[in-house]
Chains A and B, each alone.
Chain A
Amino acid sequence: MSKKELELRPGTGPTADDQPVVQVVRVPRMTATWRAIHWFQALAVVVCFITGLYIANPYYSPNPTRIDAATYFMAWNRAIHFYGALVLDVSMFLIAYLYVFSTKHRDITDLRPSPENLTEFKEALLNFVTFNRRKRLDTSKRDPFLAVLFLIFHLIMLTQLLTGFQLYVASYSANISAVGSWWPWLLHFVTDWTLTVFGGNVGVRETHLVTAWIIIAWAVFHIYYEIWRSIMWKEGDIVISFGGYKYVKRSGTKHV
């Protein structure tokens, strides 16, 4: 989107002929990259959750009187869980990169505790808890409140990723892997601390399970919040994740 689109009045200065108008402008909010990440992650989280629950406690089985291993339900669930996890892992790397190096919008800029950011954070929070009665923020921008919500999500995801990798490396026999011993070594190196922090492999598994529920709870809240914003602010927040833009009413003047 070009700068021009944002401009309400491409003319020169105001003149006597100018008339007040309300116009809807498109504000770019999510790049194609972020939208792709968003939907890949949403899909992968749902897939991981469904298959993860099966791994935790298999809730369907072939007929026990028919001995036939052709179904391989658990093997498929585990494989699909790991593919989903792979998508999440890769997307998390991308996100980590974009947090810091994105040329357009860096989350770390929103997360800096500068006075303006703190005020905006407070105002967005107050807006939500006063049920939109107090609204002293520019709703067209990506506000620090949203940035913090996503930071929380990314930290939860990181926990899931690290505990998941620890569970994964635990399933290697004597740390032999098809791609070489460096891979289990690397996984151990990066995730063994989770054993200490969460209390052994049992604690890591419990954490992975509990975190799975926390992720789903976060997602439910996230969906609600986006719908709430769309309804209360009337700026089409919900379509940001599809088209990348939100639609903001601007009052300006029009040269007639």
Chain B
Amino acid sequence: MEYDRRSLFARALGHTKELRTTEDEALALQRACEARLREVEAMEPLSGLELAPLLTEHKLSRRAFIAWTSAMTAALMLPPLLRPQVAKAATLLNRIPVIWIEGQDCAGNSEAFIRSSGPTVEELLFQTISLEFHETLMAAAGIQAEQRKQQAAQMYKGSYILVIEGGIPLGENGGYCTIGASGQTFVDEVRELSGGAALVLAAGACAFYGGIPASNPNPTDAVGVSSVVSGKPLINIPACPMNPVNFVGTLIHYVLTGSAPALDSLGRPIWAFGNLIHNNCERRAHFDAGEYVQHWGDAGAQNNFCLYKMGCKGPFTYNNCSIVRYNEGTNWPIGVGHGCIGCSQPQFWDTLAYERPMTNASIHAPGLAGWGVESSVDEFGLGLLAVVGVGIVAHAIASAAAGHRARQTEPPAAEVGAASTEDHQDTGGEE
């Protein structure tokens, strides 16, 4: 596993222990990225859409675009020197064929791109991407749509990026979710299309670990992409919804380097998921000060105190929404006064999404999950202490009674002293 924060460097230059990039390293990286960009530029633009005219058309100034590229460069944890390369990569996204399929989902990850107040740079980029297939967005339907998918998969075999949105039900042989006119099961579609993909992206919480459909009791036996796809580079971009910045950033990283970014043990890009929400939260000072919202709307809430006691799971959750926020950096859940529900963590709905601290949650005691022992940890603990206490009292009473009886019947200590004094000599002395 790779723990270097500068994911890109770890790949391009090998693992370095120094946390600060030297100028030489940055320059070497820049040269490597430029070479890769020249390769991509030589490729055919597929979507027929270029970013520059789109930006002008939607009155997004050059300044706004530069601001965006700077933010993206920083988000990707690249040295500022590489900003022009990031800008270039953004304009080259139209060279990459993308097939986007949906299973058990709410299309929320697609919506996250297209439902902003004004077109954002991310949204325009989403337009320039050569989206060969996307059920929700394309005009074609039924058999036509399916043919389009087959064509795209044939034409770009081995080079397309497969984006999977939604959980994959395995129950009833995958029959809980069938796609299109032919009624192919989603799990088959995932297997088939991932076979020809260069890279698989699991978009959102449901594609990550099954998400909401997989929450207890998981009636359709839903799983995430990693349980179905193997032998392909897979990048998980969880959250509910996935942040468009993280999706576009991952694509830009791919265009820049031709490879997946460094991933954490759950397959998430470290540049986006390397930090706890809690560590970059604007309310963190209140956490350390012991200043908590105790009830919705109380004096603490009015003063933006920490939401830990209202069940904030920022201390468990790896994501960058505390930094990049949502909707063009407008705000994010904790910013508007609700705790994090851990949407970028596995099984978040069952294990993190409740409005009280974990110790007060009715959760399964570890290892007993299947047995239905359900109690909060403190109840469990107090129960355990009570059991020990009752046992002790019972034992003490019985001992007292036994001693009493012994005194009445036989002379005490009849069996004591069986051992010889020599035995004791191996037990003592200083170290």
Contacts and interface: CB of A to CB of B under 8 A. Distances in A.
A192 interface: yes
A181 interface: yes
A102 B294 CA distance: 52
Nearest to B350: A202
A47 B381 CA distance: 17
Contact of A132 (B387, B403, B427, B430): B403
Contacts of B345: 200-202
A71 interface: yes
B259 interface: no
Interface stretch (B85-93, B143-151, B330-338, B391-399): B391-399
Contacts of B285: 69
B403 to A, nearest CB: 7
A62 B305 CA distance: 12
A19 interface: no
A1 interface: yes
A249 B300 CA distance: 65
B346 A142 contact: no
B384 interface: yes
B234 interface: no
A99 interface: no
Contact of B275 (A53, A67, A174): A174
Interface residues of B, number: 79
B401 A173 contact: no
A108 B431 CA distance: 15
Interface stretch (A72-80, A83-91, A149-157): A72-80
10 contacts: A29-B428, A53-B359, A58-B292, A64-B294, A67-B303, A75-B289, A131-B402, A140-B419, A188-B1, A201-B345
B363 A205 contact: no
Contact of A228 (B280, B396, B430): B396
A195 interface: yes
A65 B403 CA distance: 60
Contact of B5 (A174, A209, A250): A174
A136 B384 CA distance: 32
A168 interface: no
B24 to A, nearest CB: 20
Q: How large, as a class, is the contact surface on chain A? A: 35 or more
A222 to B, nearest CB: 10
Nearest to B377: A209
Contacts of A53: 359
Interface stretch (B26-34, B49-57, B124-132, B308-316): B308-316
A12 interface: no
Q: Which 8 residue pairs spanning A and B have beta carbons closest together? A: A28-B428, A73-B290, A213-B381, A138-B419, A131-B402, A174-B5, A75-B288, A69-B289
B425 interface: yes
Given A31-B430, A131-B401, A210-B381, A57 B357 contact: yes
Given A135-B415, A175-B3, A32 B430 contact: yes
Interface in B347-383: 347, 351-352, 357-360, 363, 365-366, 377-378, 380-382
A139 B418 CA distance: 10
A25 B421 CA distance: 10
A75 to B, nearest CB: 4
Interface in B405-422: 406, 413, 415-419, 421
B307 to A, nearest CB: 12
Contacts of A173: 274-276, 279-280
Interface in B267-302: 270, 274-276, 278-280, 285-292, 294, 298-300
Contacts of B418: 136-138
A123 to B, nearest CB: 10
B100 to A, nearest CB: 28
B59 interface: no
B380 A210 contact: yes
A95 interface: no
A93 interface: no
